[in-house]
Amino acid sequence: MAERHAIVELIPRLRRYARALVGDRATADDLVQDTLERALIKFHLYREGTDLRAWLFTVMHNVHVNRLRAARGTDPLDEEMPEMAQRGTQGDALALRDLNRAIVRLPDEQREVLLLVALEHMSYDDVARTLGIPIGTVMSRLSRAREKLRAMMFGLPATTKLKVVK
């Protein structure tokens, strides 16, 4: 398989994206490993001449969604998550060590779009194809992801209401 070498070359990119997507190294590398194993099994589905990177990210997206589905019930992350840590005195809003976690706190489907665009520099069309969603959805998720992250970073008022935890 001639593309094997090309896939190996892309492993660092897959690892970077996975790290940003799931947050910690071990889980991210598990995701990459499952992706590589699945890519090899499904390689007959790859159409020669098309973008190998986009295809691999599609495989990773599918593996990731399946893993989330399997873990559902233990995964309360959704749109109702509080936007912002309780803001103390001015200037304390941004816990730098928590930036990683702020990104992980974005709703999963928004985080995927933001990372493919901002970290992978993938075209909007390719993001739509990779995730199997319309381009309008790509743009609205991108816009919401960025605004939420900005709210978390600068302590702006949350755009969605906080859920009261009883």
Partner 1 sequence: MTSNQPVTEADLQAYADERLADARRAEVEAWLATRPEDAERIAGYRAQRDMLHALYDPVLDEPVPERLRAAMRGGGRSRAIARVAGWVALGAALGVLAGWQLRALQAPVRVAQGEGMSMARRAAVAHVTYSPEIRHPVEVGADQEAHLVAWLSKRLGAPLHVPVLDRAGLKLVGGRLLPGDGDPATGVNPAPVAQFMYQGAKGQRVTLYVRIEAADHRDTAFRFAREGGVRVFYWIDRNFGYALSTSDLDRSELLNVANLVYKQLNP
| Residues of this chain that bind partner 1 (CB under 8 A) | 4, 7-8, 11-13, 15-16, 19-20, 29-30, 32-34, 36-37, 40, 90-92, 94-97, 99-100, 103, 115, 117-119, 121, 123-124, 139, 142-143, 146-147, 149-150, 153-154
Q: Which of 6, 86, 89 is nearest to 40 (CA)?
A: 6
Judged by beta carbon, residue 121 or residue 166, the one nearer partner 1 is: 121
Q: How far is the CB of 102 from partner 1 (least distance, A)?
A: 10
Q: How far is the CB of 4 from partner 1 (least distance, A)?
A: 6
Q: How far is the CB of 55 from partner 1 (least distance, A)?
A: 15
Q: How far is the CB of 61 from partner 1 (least distance, A)?
A: 18
Dihedral sign, CA of 40, 45, 51, 53? negative
Judged by beta carbon, residue 13 or residue 109, the one nearer partner 1 is: 13
Judged by beta carbon, residue 37 or residue 163, the one nearer partner 1 is: 37
Judged by beta carbon, residue 92 or residue 163, the one nearer partner 1 is: 92
Q: How far is the CB of 97 from partner 1 (least distance, A)?
A: 5
